[in-house]
């Protein structure tokens, strides 16, 4: 809603306005509004923006309001949205206490998440621990009583914080190794509880936070390798980490993985598809895997079903992972960012995937960077016999 007192609307303002009526921002606003191409052309090239009445006519905003009633009408709209919520009127919010993060010389440690930094290797290892003890109760009353200590919520908040710490403070570390620890059955039981109560406001909000946190992997300019070894619990919601990875390595003997119903819904990526459907670029192929949900799968079965990339045996395990990491770190970080962004969003496009995954846009960026055209860049040194020297910073 905008004030119609000679107001004008510019592109950044539309992004903010889209949030007010619950559309989720500019992406969904444009999808929902289906702004005409010719009008969008005028809007995007008009420096002074458009006035409120024209913005409404062109379907850029929901409503306009006279100055005297602007705040009143915004409050009315907010009350109407609140009235349409299924959250009980007497429900109490859940207090989100500050995270308990300990910072060490070589990483961070939370209760459920640990980050180990190896800047000399260009890697960071994120290990997520599955639920244990009373951290994942099955009864809704116990979940509410646990509040912010409930494992899915606590883990998602810690993982979100860890990702932001890595993205903001460690630009030179371009490869993240994703690991888990715990019991498959505990994660599957927690997933079943979330699915059973997914209509409850608190569980729904927790699923939303977990979904958004996992989406950070999809849009992070880092190489992601999942390492599935002894003691891992890549099951259900935690198996999404392996599906988000650019590659996954599973030891041929010992570990098991498992799917749950959450792998087939509720944790979609920014293209509005599940990671399984995106992985196979085929909804039917992903749906066929439902028959395996809940069943522990060894490396041979996981490899046969296409759920992991490689399954080295014990003799080759350490060397294969070491060589894969060394190879990755040797490549241009700019080229990797473009390649990864493009490959992570296969299939039908949304506005978000057009922003993050368009190969043409990344090509224009990659080939104008010093890592490509600088004095020590790949294009300058190509054919000279000298190796390119890259700035390892991942943007």
Looking at the fold, whether 337 and 318 belong to one and the same domain comes out as no
CATH number (domain holding residue 250): 3.90.226.10
In the chain, which ranges are E strands?
A: 2-3, 8-9, 50-51, 64-65, 102-104, 107-109, 113-118, 123-129, 175-181, 223-228, 247-250
* pLDDT tens digits, 37-49: 999 999 999 999 8
pLDDT for 6: 47
Looking at the fold, whether 288 and 145 belong to one and the same domain comes out as yes
DSSP calls for 157-206: HHHHHHHHHHHHH-TT--EEEEEEES-HHHHHHHHHHHHHTTTSHHHHHH
Looking at the fold, whether 310 and 352 belong to one and the same domain comes out as no
CB 376 within 8 A of CB 395: no
Domains of the chain: total? 3
128: β partners: 113, 180
Q: Domain ends where: 287, 310, 328?
A: 328
What does each of the 395 residues of the chain score in pLDDT, given as a tens digit? 555 544 544 443 343 333 333 333 333 344 445 889 999 999 999 999 899 899 999 999 888 888 899 999 999 999 998 888 888 888 888 999 999 999 998 999 999 999 999 999 999 999 999 999 888 899 999 999 999 999 999 999 999 999 999 999 999 999 999 999 999 999 999 999 999 999 999 999 999 999 999 999 999 999 999 999 999 999 999 999 999 999 999 999 999 999 999 999 999 998 889 999 999 988 788 889 999 999 999 999 999 999 999 999 999 999 999 999 999 999 999 999 999 998 998 887 888 888 888 777 888 889 999 999 999 999 989 989 898 999 999 87
Which whole-number Å values give the CA distances from 218 to 3, 100, 269, 331, in the listed order? Answer: 37, 26, 7, 20
| Assigned token pair, 316 | 């080759």
Looking at the fold, whether 157 and 294 belong to one and the same domain comes out as yes
* Cα-Cα-Cα-Cα dihedral sign, residues 133, 262, 251, 347: negative
pLDDT for 307: 97
* 57 occurs within a structural domain: yes
Show the domain range for 303: 102-328
Looking at the fold, whether 250 and 370 belong to one and the same domain comes out as no
104: β partners: 107
Looking at the fold, whether 42 and 189 belong to one and the same domain comes out as no
pLDDT for 181: 97
* 89 occurs within a structural domain: no
Looking at the fold, whether 49 and 141 belong to one and the same domain comes out as no
pLDDT for 184: 96
Q: How many beta carbons lie within 10 A of that of residue 388, not counting itself?
A: 18
Q: Are strands 64-65 and 123-129 parallel, antiparallel or unpaired?
A: unpaired
Looking at the fold, whether 323 and 339 belong to one and the same domain comes out as no
Please provide residue 9's backbone torsions phi and psi, each rounded to the nearest 5 degrees: -120, 130
Q: What predicted TM-score, i.e. pTM, was given to this entire model?
A: 0.84
Q: How many beta carbons lie within 10 A of that of residue 230, not counting itself?
A: 9
Looking at the fold, whether 147 and 295 belong to one and the same domain comes out as yes
């Amino acid at each position: 809603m905008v004030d119609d007192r000679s107001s004008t609307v510019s592109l950044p303002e539309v992004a903010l306005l889209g949030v007010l009526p619950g559309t989720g921002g500019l992406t969904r606003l444009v999808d929902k509004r289906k702004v005409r191409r010719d009008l969008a052309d005028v809007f995007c090239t008009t420096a002074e923006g458009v006035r409120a009445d024209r913005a409404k006519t062109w379907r850029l905003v929901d409503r306009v309001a006279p100055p005297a009633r602007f705040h009143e009408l915004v409050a009315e709209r907010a009350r109407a949205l609140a009235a349409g919520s299924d959250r009980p009127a007497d429900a109490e919010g859940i207090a989100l206490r500050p995270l308990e993060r300990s910072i060490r010389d070589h990483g961070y440690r939370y209760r459920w998440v640990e980050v180990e930094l190896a800047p000399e290797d260009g890697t960071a290892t994120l290990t997520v621990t599955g639920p244990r003890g009373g951290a994942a109760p099955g009864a809704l009353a116990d979940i509410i009583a646990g509040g912010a200590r409930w494992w899915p919520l606590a883990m998602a908040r810690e993982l979100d914080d860890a990702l932001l710490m890595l993205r903001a403070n460690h630009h030179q570390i371009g490869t993240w190794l994703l690991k888990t620890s715990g019991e498959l059955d505990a994660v599957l039981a927690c997933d079943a509880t979330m699915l059973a109560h997914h209509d409850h406001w608190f569980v729904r909000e927790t699923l939303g936070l977990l979904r958004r946190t996992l989406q950070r992997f999809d849009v992070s300019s880092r190489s992601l390798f999942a390492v599935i070894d002894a003691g891992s619990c890549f099951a259900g919601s935690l198996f999404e980490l392996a599906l988000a990875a650019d590659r996954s390595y599973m030891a041929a003997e010992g570990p098991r993985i498992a799917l749950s119903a959450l792998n087939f819904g509720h944790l979609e990526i920014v293209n509005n598809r599940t990671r399984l459907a995106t992985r196979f670029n085929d909804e039917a192929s992903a749906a066929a895997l439902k028959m395996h949900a809940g069943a522990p799968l060894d490396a041979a079965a996981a490899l046969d079903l296409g759920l992991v990339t490689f399954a080295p045996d014990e003799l080759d395990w350490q060397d294969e992972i070491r060589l894969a990491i060394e190879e990755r770190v040797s490549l241009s970080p700019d080229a990797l960012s473009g390649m990864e962004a493009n490959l992570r969003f296969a299939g039908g496009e949304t506005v978000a995937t057009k922003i993050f995954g368009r190969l043409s846009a990344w090509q224009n960026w990659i080939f104008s960077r010093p890592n490509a055209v600088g004095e020590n860049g790949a294009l300058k040194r190509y054919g000279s016999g000298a190796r390119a020297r890259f700035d390892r910073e991942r943007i």
